[in-house]
Structure 1
């Protein structure tokens, strides 16, 4: 599976768990460590846990794709799932505003997700 397909699948999976403000940042031309960031928000710690769990379970069951690493916990209000070519950031709303990854990567194009 190519990285853009994986990014789209990840975006749809988090959307299925009602993640908010889903953005896909295309880093292929400006980064060597990953091709895409998927950034989304959850409304509570249980919501973050549900989003991260759905992503992990569905990618494994349906596509036999496992993360290289998952860091952070719902309690920290930021969970990062590293799938090598796609890194998924699941934030609580307040933490997302604080870290503002979209601003840090503002020069990168956005992928039209059509969710």
Structure 2
């Protein structure tokens, strides 16, 4: 089976899938932001809250398994060792899995406040 590059799956579909997998992993307060008009780095941010560092890692593991079955692997993962914020970079979609305190402190939703929210739970 040939692995798909991140670009082989459209970014909107990928963002929805990432949000749904995070939800299945019991992530909380999942938000999908459409940053296409605001960023030249990515198309969508998926932001979610984990209840512990272990939970954040479990979200990442679940995501890796689900997307790997589609032939999609992250281009980069940062903060996985010991942190309250892990970034999973899937090229056109970036997942920010954060502890509640980090999410409040960095307030990405406010920082990217001009980005429309996407209803991922249709």
Normalised by the length of structure 1, the TM-score is 0.95
Q: After TM superposition, what 4+ stretches of structure 1 lie above 3 angstroms from structure 2?
A: none
Instruction: Give the SS at the match of 1:75.
Output: coil
- Residue 15 (str. 1) matches residue 28 (str. 2): no
- Residue 2 (str. 1) matches residue 37 (str. 2): no
- Residue 78 (str. 1) matches residue 85 (str. 2): yes
Distance 2:114 2:108 in 1: 11
Q: Is the 8 A contact 2:20 2:121 kept in 1?
A: no
Q: 1:32 aligns with which of 16, 33, 40?
A: 40
Count of matched residue positions in the alignment of Structure 1 and Structure 2:
114
- The superposition leaves residues 35-73 of structure 1 with CA deviations (integer Å, 9 ceiling, x where unpaired) of 000000000111111101111111012x10000000002
Structure 1 residue 75: deviation in Å? 2.5
Bigger share in helix = 1
Structure 1 residue 74: deviation in Å? 5.9
Q: 1:56 aligns with which of 64, 78, 98?
A: 64
Q: RMSD over aligned Cα, in angstroms?
A: 1.0
Q: Which consecutive unaligned segments of at least 5 residues does structure 2 have?
A: 1-8
Q: Which consecutive unaligned segments of at least 5 residues does structure 1 have?
A: none
- The superposition leaves residues 56-110 of structure 1 with CA deviations (integer Å, 9 ceiling, x where unpaired) of 111012x100000000026311000000000000001111101111110001100
